[in-house]
Amino acid sequence: MHHFKYRDNELYCEDVPVRIIAEQIGTPFYLYSHATLKRHYLIFDEAFEGLDRLVCYSAKANTNLSVLKLFESLGSGLDIVSGGELYRGLKAGFSPDKIVYSGVGKRVDEIDYALEAGILMFNVESIEELELINKRAGILETIAPVAIRVNPDVDPKTHPYISTGLKKNKFGIDKEAAIEGYNVARGLENIDVVGIDCHIGSQITDAKPFVEALESIKDLIDELRKIGLDIRFLDMGGGLGITYNDESPPHPREYAKEIVASLKGTQLKLILEPGRVIVGNAGILVTEVLFRKSGKDKEFIIADAGMNDLMRPTLYSAFHAIEPVVDNEGQQITADVVGPICETGDFLAVDRKISDVIKGDLLAVMSAGAYGFTMSSNYCSRPRVAEVMVKDDNFYVVRDRERYEDLVNGESIPPFLDV
């Protein structure tokens, strides 16, 4: 359920016509619904009622400070994968002891930043990383709390680019090698082994892979406890999918039901890292039609948003529904919706049935709240778009549209060229 609805053939975000926002700030822009973000977070968290838990929103899905602040105000923790996300999280007010640092390639400066901040734990992806964290903690005269990310070799049945739990993926340590990894960890003087981490992928639309992974990890926890390791945190990651087109992902309550039943009485604190399932359908990308073009075999709708603004269709052949902001209930055509980037792969939709829009019409690219702005770039020297949040009948620009001056911020011409 989201708060993007038509009233008299005009698309609204909560109680604000999307057209009015476009007229006042221009296009393209990302638009987020406060009510949807709040509702999705609370539904997910409450689904795990009865378990000792910490929901750590996955920052990489959408790192806008206003989005982060909303979740912080609701009691969320934060899952981060970079020093920049840690900076954003602290800036938004997250308590460091509710921040989990995941990711396969942590730099020394990022590790030091997290140690000095006092985060809840590192999700460690390799023995070399574990040894580096131990070394840095020693230099900083502190103790690093860690969980080891264990790869359970479970097929999440999702796009191969966002599958992370198979042996062939770059993430984590094989389950068979996990005992050895934990033995190494407990022998390091600046490491406190506090948990175990498992994340099998993203945009998963079936609860069974989660349950399969959980059972595998529980067996491993029993083995670790037998050798004297007190595993307190079980981090199950995120990955629950949303409906983009015809997917039928489980409701969070259905997803949570079996996990809650399986963990009752285990004395483990469950950490969850939802991202897409909370923000995905809480945001859209609004773009204006620049031109229509009829080719010999194709009809093209050329919009002012391109692959640099929304990468998912180009990167994953991902489907996003595209709706007219003002629906004139005219005929539908089959067309490619493309952007202004000089790449054949610059498209928002291919061979899509869509309203027969004309120059100046507005289009809403739906389900764009996750991995939208966060994956955007300045390719072709295009300023990144504005971000807007609606609450009730008001809208707020929560990130200004970049200007041309912003494109060269930090650049300089050395003296030998300045002639």
- Express each pLDDT in 339-354 by its tens digit: 999 999 999 999 999 9
pLDDT in tens, 202-213: 677 677 777 787
- Ordered by start, the domain boundaries in the chain are 4-32+280-407, 103-272
Alpha helices in 198-305 (DSSP H): 208-226, 252-263, 276-279
Q: Which helix (H) or strand (E) holds 73?
A: helix 65-73
pLDDT at 55 over 90: yes
Per DSSP, the three-state class of 47 is coil
pLDDT at 110: 98
Using the predicted structure, report yes or no on whether residue 309 has a pLDDT greater than 50. Answer: yes
Least confident of 174-178, 229-233, 299-303: 174-178
Assign 170 a pLDDT band (cuts: 50, 70, 90): very low
| 263, two tokens | 């963990």
- pTM of model > 0.85: yes
The structural architecture, per CATH, of the domain 4-32+280-407 is: Beta Barrel (2.40)
CA dihedral 222, 228, 230, 235 (to 10 degrees): -50
| Topology of domain 103-272, CATH | TIM Barrel (3.20.20)
101-136 tens-digit pLDDT: 999 999 999 999 999 999 999 999 999 999 999 999
pLDDT at 273: 94
Q: Do 362 and 288 form a contact (C-beta atoms < 8 A)?
A: yes
pLDDT for 124 equals 95
Q: Which of 239, 180, 231 is nearest to 208 (CA)?
A: 239
Query: Which distant-in-sequence residues (6+ apart) come within 8 Å of 105 by Cβ?
Result: none
Q: Which residues are catalytic?
A: 342
